[in-house]
C-alpha cells in the first residue's frame, strides 16, 4: 500500500533523476521522491521497463540511460531540466558480480568499476553542472546528489573484493565531493545498506562465499534504503549505514582485518544456515 503523500517541499516543483530505477532499490527511491513532490525521471538500461515503472509509480517520465557514458549523463540532466529545474540526482544503478578476484572475468571486473564507480562520477558531474547553470541563471539554488553504495564499502568482504572496492571508491568520491560543493548549496549523500533481497543478491552464486556472507547480516528492504537516503536530503550528513550496528562491525574489520577475517568461516556458516531456512 502506498504511503500518505508527504508535504511537497518549498523548492518544488523540482525534477529528480534516479538511475537503475526500473525495479528494486531504484524503484523504491523513485517512489519516495514522487511522494515528496519531485517530478521524477526514471532511467534504466531497459527503456521499456523504465517507462512502465514511471507510469506505475506516477513519475513524470521514464527513459533509457547508460550510466557508463558521460555524454548520456549530460543528456539525461537536460531532459530532467525540461520537466522542472533539477533538484536531485540519485546514482543508484549498480552491478554485483560476485567471485574472488582471480575468478572474475575481465568483462565483469570492468563492469563493476565502470557502473559502480564511474557511473556515480559521471552522474555527479552532470548534476553539479546543471545545478551551477541553474544558479547562474537565477532559476534555482543548490540541489541534492545521492548515491546507493553498500556496507561492503567499509571493510573487507571475501568473495566480493572487486565489488567492495568499487563501492569503497564511490563512497570516497561522495565524501570528497560533499566538501568540494558544500558552499554552493549542493549536498551529497550516500546510503550503505547491508544485504537487500533484490535481483543483485539473488543473482549471486547459490551457496557461494559472497552470498553466504551477505546473508549472515541483516537483510533490509528496498523501502528502508530509499527512506534512509532521501531522509538525508536538506542535511549535510554525508552517509549512513543500514543497520547502523553493521556499519560499526565493518569499520572494525577494516581496522583489524587479520583477526576479523578469521571469523569469516563462522559468518559464512551463519549465512548458509539462513539461506536454507528461507528456502524451507
Strands 39-44 and 86-91: unpaired
Tell me the three cell numbers of residue 87.
533538484
* Catalytic status, residue 38: no
Rounded Cα gap, residues 78 and 76, in angstroms: 5
8 A C-beta contact, residue 32 and residue 227: yes
Angle, CA 110 vertex, CA 66 and CA 205 arms, to 5°:
100
Please, which residues bridge with residue 89 across strands?
A: 17, 145
- Among the listed residues 89, 122, 163, 233, the single catalytic one is 163
Rounded Cα gap, residues 164 and 261, in angstroms: 15
Closest CA to 59 of 91, 83, 89, 88: 83
Backbone angles phi, psi at 174, to 5 degrees: -60, -45
Q: What are the catalytic residues?
A: 163
Amino acid at each position: 500500500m502506498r504511503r500518505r503523500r508527504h508535504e511537497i517541499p518549498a523548492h518544488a516543483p523540482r525534477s529528480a533523476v534516479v538511475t537503475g530505477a526500473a525495479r528494486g532499490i531504484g524503484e523504491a527511491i523513485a517512489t519516495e521522491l514522487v511522494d515528496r513532490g519531485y517530478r521524477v525521471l526514471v532511467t534504466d538500461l531497459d527503456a521499456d521497463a523504465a517507462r512502465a515503472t514511471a507510469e506505475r509509480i506516477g513519475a513524470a517520465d521514464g527513459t533509457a540511460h547508460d550510466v557508463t557514458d558521460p555524454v548520456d549523463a549530460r543528456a539525461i540532466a537536460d531532459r530532467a531540466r525540461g520537466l522542472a529545474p533539477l533538484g536531485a540526482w540519485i546514482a543508484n544503478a549498480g552491478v554485483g558480480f560476485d567471485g574472488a578476484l582471480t575468478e572474475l572475468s575481465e568483462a565483469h571486473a570492468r563492469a563493476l568499476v565502470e557502473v559502480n564507480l564511474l557511473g556515480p562520477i559521471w552522474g555527479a558531474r552532470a548534476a553539479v553542472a546543471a545545478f551551477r547553470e541553474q544558479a547562474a541563471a537565477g532559476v534555482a539554488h543548490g540541489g541534492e546528489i545521492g548515491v546507493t553504495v553498500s556496507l561492503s564499502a567499509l571493510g573487507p568482504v571475501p568473495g566480493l573484493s572487486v565489488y567492495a572496492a568499487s563501492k569503497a571508491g564511490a563512497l570516497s568520491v561522495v565524501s570528497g565531493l560533499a566538501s568540494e560543493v558544500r558552499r554552493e548549496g549542493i549536498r551529497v549523500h550516500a546510503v550503505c545498506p547491508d544485504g537487500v533481497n533484490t535481483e543483485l543478491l539473488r543473482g549471486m552464486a547459490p551457496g557461494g562465499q559472497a552470498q553466504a556472507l551477505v546473508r549472515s547480516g541483516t537483510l533490509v528492504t528496498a523501502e528502508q534504503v530509499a527512506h534512509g537516503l532521501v531522509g538525508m536530503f536538506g542535511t549535510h550528513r554525508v552517509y549512513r549505514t543500514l543497520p547502523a550496528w553493521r556499519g560499526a562491525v565493518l569499520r572494525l574489520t577494516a581496522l583489524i582485518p587479520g583477526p576479523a577475517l578469521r571469523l569469516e568461516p563462522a559468518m559464512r556458516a551463519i549465512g548458509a544456515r539462513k539461506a536454507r531456512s528461507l528456502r524451507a
